[in-house]
Amino acid sequence: DAMVIQNPRYQVTQFGKPVTLSCSQTLNHNVMYWYQQKSSQAPKLLFHYYDKDFNNEADTPDNFQSRRPNTSFCFLDIRSPGLGDAAMYLCATSDQGMSTDTQYFGPGTRLTVL
């Protein structure tokens, strides 16, 4: 059974048209992450939530926002997508309370910007 689910798996948007990517988890983990991964590059952390506490990376553009309405769901909002935002967006979770902080990744959403 899928533990970290991302929807949609593929998203096409137009330049400047807002888009929202969704992540849900059945693991009841308290930490959720959003990464951006461009072709042949490592995943780059955009931000993460520890419970309701939002932690933004210093170099994450303001164009990227996130919401976590409850433990299970986390959203990535791209307010005005540019061509350079085309990438795979990965959601991950971890449980801070456990002795390990292993991350579990969703299958990703591949974003195309036209």
Partner 1 sequence: RKEVEQDPGPFNVPEGATVAFNCTYSNSASQSFFWYRQDCRKEPKLLMSVYSSGNEDGRFTAQLNRASQYISLLIRDSKLSDSATYLCVVNMLNNDMRFGAGTRLTVKP
Applying CB under 8 A, the residues found at the interface with partner 1 are 31, 33, 41-45, 48, 50, 55, 88, 90, 94, 96, 100-108, 110
Is 81 or 106 the residue whose CB approaches partner 1 more closely?
106
Least Å distance between CB 75 and partner 1? 18
79, 86, 76, 88: which is closest to 114 by C-alpha?
A: 86
Beta carbon of residue 63, minimum distance to partner 1 (angstroms, whole number): 21
Nearer to partner 1, 15 or 54 (CB): 54
d(CA 99, CA 42) in angstroms, rounded, equals 26
Read off φ and ψ for residue 44, nearest 5 degrees. Answer: -115, 125
Distance, in Å, from the CA atom of 9 to the CA atom of 15, rounded to the nearest integer, reads 19
Q: State the nearest-atom distance from the C-beta of 80 to partner 1, in Å.
A: 26
